[in-house]
């Protein structure tokens, strides 16, 4: 089935995770496979289903797309 090999993040895990900088909520963005922290303006990558919650690995977000 198409899309079944696409990495996803477990909903229960997403409920537990917070931004390491702000302790605020994260939003899953399936298209870029990132966890978005609006407050920190960072996008944390998810590699092979594993969230990389290091600010040094996060991508800064464009303020126009938050």
Domains present along the chain, CATH in parentheses? 11-65 (2.20.25.10)
- Residue with the bigger pLDDT between 34 and 63: it is 34
What's the token pair of residue 39? 């407050």
Instruction: Summarize the confidence of residues 41-59 as an average pLDDT.
Output: 94
Host H or E run for residue 46? strand 42-47
Q: What is the pLDDT of residue 63?
A: 78
What's the token pair of residue 9? 């993040």
- Least confident span in 8-12, 17-21, 25-29, 36-40: 8-12
Q: How confident is the model at residue 2 (pLDDT cuts 50, 70, 90)?
A: very low
DSSP state of 58: P
DSSP state of 6: S
Does 64 score more than 80 pLDDT? no
| pTM for this predicted structure | 0.81
- The partner residues of 34 in beta bridges, in order of sequence, read 29, 45
């Amino acid at each position: 089935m198409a899309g079944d090999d696409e990495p996803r993040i477990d909903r229960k895990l997403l409920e537990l995770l917070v931004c390491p900088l702000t302790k605020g909520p994260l939003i899953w963005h399936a298209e870029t496979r990132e966890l978005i922290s609006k407050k920190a303006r960072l996008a944390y990558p998810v590699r092979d289903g594993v969230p990389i919650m290091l600010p040094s690995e996060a991508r800064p977000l464009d303020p126009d797309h938050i």
